[in-house]
Structure 1
Amino acid sequence: MKFLTASATALSVLCLIAPPVAAQESAFSKVAVPATGSGTSVAKYVVKERAKAENLGGEAASRIYGGRAAQDGAWPHQVSLHLVERLDGSTEGLYGSQFCGGSIIARQWVLTAAHCIADDEGRAVDPATIAVKSGATDLGEGDLRAVASVIVHENYDPSTGDADIGLIQLTEPIADSSGPVAAIPVQTNSTQLPDGPAVVIGWGMMEENKFPVDLMETDIDIVSNATCNKGMAEVSQRDLGAFLFVIGTENRIPMDRLEEAYSIILNNWGDALTNNMICAGVPSGKRTSCNGDSGGPLMIKEPDGDWLQVGIVSWGRKPLGSNEPCGHENLYSVYTRVSNYFDWIASHVRG
């Protein structure tokens, strides 16, 4: 999962407080716009966190973040994405190189999040830097597959998380496998998505900054986007107030100017989620997706018992200053709404 914060918005208030002279505007433009670089930033971040964390197996991991270890073969469409430069032929290399998830939607195609396969500026990464592993719930098992190409949606916006969807084309169609492999159907643009139970899976970060070896699954609920927007607005506005108070106190900015700036921002506050996104989780935040789960599927069970992918793990938000990356009350996770991109997916997969 990628974290989007309101820090840039909060910093931008300084230009409202300070007199609008050219020198100050120039200086502000340098500090308010986040620096960008090249490379798979999400991949390197998650791999770095994995290197610092303790990997846990089945029973030890099953109680964390409200999840449980998935049974072997339960989710044959799930794949893990690995940073090739960290693969050294060892089991430890497989554990330490995983950074995102994905789902098999055709014999040669994997659906994932754009931010898993894009650099900081939203450009597709070199496919040679990524490997896909299928056919196992244990990260140390299964089959590594080479990648021929990666496709990032042309409207992907790294700053807002909109259009966070991408495709991976394998060098060869999946034929042989050491474990269960299957494709999952994705929601079309002609079907409605009701609020209600859903399941999310992945090898992402758990409580105490630990990562599982086994694939984890957890039950959550799809709720209205308004629920997500409300929770995020309350936390972000509280963080903004605290930020302004500290900055104002340290720099002797009059309180009435801080209140004025705060009011201006609140009056222009927009929703965090677009119609291309799905809100899901639980009110307590204790059953959710987290770093390393990105790109994996959000699924619902259809009346006939089959599973349907309706979303892709995309992003989340945490309170300013929190040491816990996930699991916060009233802060739900956000997923890409697959149905809005069904035609785009089909145009590539069907050629």
Structure 2
Amino acid sequence: MTGTGFAKPKRLVLGLLLGCLAFSAEAQDGGLKDIAIPQGANEVQVRAHVLALKQQAGMQDDVTRIFGGRAAQDGTWPAQVSLHSAEAVDGSPEGRFQSQFCGGTIIARQWVLTAAHCVVGDDGRPSAPESILIRSGAVDMRNGDFRKVSRVIPHEDYNPVTIDNDIALVQLAEPITQSSGPVGAINVQSQGEQPPVGPATVIGWGRMEDGKFPIQLMETDIDIVPNGTCNQGMAEQTRRDMGGFLLGMGEVNRIPLETLEQAFAILSQNLGNSLTENMICAGTSSGQRTMCNGDSGGPLMVKAPNGNWVQVGVVSWNRSPIGSDRKCGHESLYGVYTRVSQYFDWISGHVRG
């Protein structure tokens, strides 16, 4: 991929951009400070978006088209839980399926680890505990136990625009003492430890390659790679998106090509890194195996030398080209995970307290 010049103008890209951008006369007369910054991912958007997608797609028992993954066997991942919108749970199999919007992991008898963007609203406040139910004990969405929540604790420095510090704790109303299926806690990586570059596994009930959602928990094998790999791929995609945007706006507003080239060069030279030190880059270069909508909050895991699984990341975010009908699984656009070892002390402080 070159990513250093303009792609040929496309009417589709132009239409999408014009449809997404609506500047007021005041904003056009002012500078960038007068243009509103778009909101980032948040609980209302994530929950509503995933639930709407599941309404459209329906339950899917055919799991052959997940992003390079496979169905998990019963008892394989006893720490994995699903987060459900309490008002949508009606006891039916369809209600169980339709109400799920994120994942999480049991890290202690009364504590679940998940992503902040799953449980933070538009106003920046945590979701009401009574609005969430935690389902545990089964890989099949139609089975397992629902557990009530007493507290929702997103990280105090969570940034919904950059999606930095994307981590949260959910305290169950009662410690887990009984279960209709396998339940257990997973170890999380200790403070300051570096996740090993190499093989890892991610699991969840997220969107599959055909756009549908599975009723069974899915697992897929990916690789943890240096953050620079993610930064490079996202920078190249940003250049392509930016080039299409500038060409489209230039055509409509009769901006000389040389001016557009100058603007493109300045913007390209000043692109910052998309990932912070609080994030992990993981996936495959082809994008064929990755996480997607509905997997948020679930674990990225590696196997320790003693054979036990250790959680090193929390499913956080990914990026797709502007105008793409496919939201996940793009070449050179890896998935991004919250780096758990940056927050071990934060987690311990709440759990022990």
Instruction: Give TM-score, length-normalised by structure 2.
Output: 0.90
Asked whether the 8 Å contact 2:40–2:160 carries over to 1, the reply is no
Q: Which runs of 5+ in 1 are unaligned?
A: 1-9, 15-20
Equivalent position of 1:303 in the other structure? 305
Which whole-Å CA distance do the structure 1 matches of 2:223 and 2:48 have between them? 30
Amino acid at match of 1:189: Q
Measure the CA separation in 1 of the matches of 2:325 and 2:41.
25
Conserved? CA contact 1:37–1:119, under 8 Å: no
Offset from partner CA, 1:253-275 (integer Å, 9 cap, x none): 22222222212212221000011
Q: Deviations over 1:148-185 (max 9, x none)?
A: 01001011111111100000001000111000000000
**Counterpart of 1:49?**
53
Residue 208 of structure 1 and its aligned partner are, at CA, apart by: 2.0
Give, in whole Å, the separation in 2 of the partners of 1:249 and 1:227: 33
Count of aligned residue pairs for this structure pair:
331
Q: Deviations over 1:82-107 (max 9, x none)?
A: 01121122110000010000000000
Task: Tell me which residue corresponds to 2:190.
Answer: 188
Partners of 1:39 and 1:115 in 2: CA distance: 5
Alignment of 1:135-284 (within 5 A): 135-284=137-286
Given that residues 104 and 184 in structure 1 are in contact (C-alpha distance below 8 angstroms), is that contact kept between their aligned partners in structure 2? yes
Cα deviations by residue, 1:195-251 (Å, 9 ceiling, x for unpaired): 010000000000121000000000000000000111111111111001110111011
Are residues 209 and 23 of structure 1, via their aligned partners in 2, closer, same or farther at CA, if it must alter by over 3 Å?
closer
Q: Which moved more, 1:33-42 or 1:314-323?
A: 33-42
Shift of 1:123: 2.3
Shift of 1:315: 0.2
Q: Distance in 1 between matches of 2:41 and 2:284?
A: 35
Instruction: State the distance in 2 between where 1:204 and 1:33 align.
Output: 28
| Structure 1 Cα separation of the partners of residues 38 and 277 of structure 2 | 26
Q: Say if 1:69 and 1:247 are closer, same or farther in 2 by CA, change over 3 A.
A: same
SS at match of 1:305: coil
Pairs within 5 Å for 1:18-167: 24-25=29-30, 31-34=35-38, 40-57=44-61, 60-167=62-169
Contact kept, 8 Å, 2:140 with 2:217, in 1: the verdict is yes
SS of residue in 1 equivalent to 2:210: helix
> 1:327 aligned to 319, 329, 333, which one?
329
Superposed CA offset, 1:283-325 (max 9, x none): 1101000000000000000111100000000000001110001
Find the aligned partners of 2:81 and 2:205 in 1 and give their Cα distance. Answer: 10
AA paired with 1:258? L
| Structure 2 gap ranges (5+) | 1-16
How far is the alpha carbon of 1:120 from its aligned partner?
Answer: 3.0
Instruction: Mark the CA change 1:253 to 1:334 in structure 2 (over 3 Å): closer, same or farther.
Output: same
Percent identity between matched residues is 58
Moved more, 187-196 or 229-238: 187-196
